[in-house]
Amino acid sequence: MTEVSVVFVTVGGEEEARGISRALVGEKLVACVGMLPGLRSIYWWKGEVRDDAEWLLIMKTRTALVPALQERIVSLHGYEVPEIIAFPVEQGLPAYLDWVAESTTDHGSS
């Protein structure tokens, strides 16, 4: 069975969320992206506390694609340092995990 990961990415708004999501699915770097509006992030950035509205993107992909996915997100993302956090999936419906693998590019191919 192919190893699968879930990747969390935050973005500043709906247009960016849709653009990044469509690009990554279209390029088969991810099988799908769930887009959740209404996230509020409070964080330290450049010496001050920030309070911003964001969208959370929840991506499913092959674990082997995570490094390439990170590079592509950085190239598409508007933030200087985007949040990109990947978690390996330890268990899941085998048919769903197979679908994720089938819907993404084989590692090393285009």
Rounded CA-CA distance 58/17 in Å is 11
In total, how many domains does the chain have?
A: 1
* Long-range CB contact pairs, 107-110, < 8 A, 24+: 107/62, 107/64, 107/65
Which two tokens mark 26? 């279209």
* Residue 1 confidence (pLDDT): 64
Going 55 to 60 to 66 to 71, the CA torsion angle's sign is negative
pLDDT at residue 42 above 90? Answer: yes
Closest CA to 88 of 8, 4, 30, 29: 4
The reply to whether 103 falls in a domain is no
% pLDDT > 90, the chain? 93
The reply to whether 22 falls in a domain is yes
* Residue 39 confidence (pLDDT): 96
* Residue 109 confidence (pLDDT): 45
Q: Tell me the pLDDT band of 105, cut-offs 50, 70 and 90.
A: confident
- Arithmetic mean of pLDDT over the chain: 94
Identify the CATH number of the domain in which residue 38 sits.
3.30.70.120
Full residue range of the structural domain in which residue 35 is found: 4-84
CA angle 10-24-100, nearest 5°? 100
The reply to whether 73 falls in a domain is yes
The reply to whether 97 falls in a domain is no
Average pLDDT over residues 13-23: 98
Tens of pLDDT, residues 52-101? 999 999 999 999 999 999 999 999 999 999 999 999 999 999 999 999 99
pLDDT at residue 24 above 60? Answer: yes
The reply to whether 36 falls in a domain is yes
Contact call for residues 20 and 57 (beta carbons, < 8 A): yes
The set of residues, in sequence order, having a beta carbon less than 8 Å from that of 54 and lying 6+ positions away, is 10, 11, 12, 39, 40, 41
The reply to whether 93 falls in a domain is no
The reply to whether 25 falls in a domain is yes
pLDDT at residue 2 above 80? Answer: no
* Residue 64 confidence (pLDDT): 96
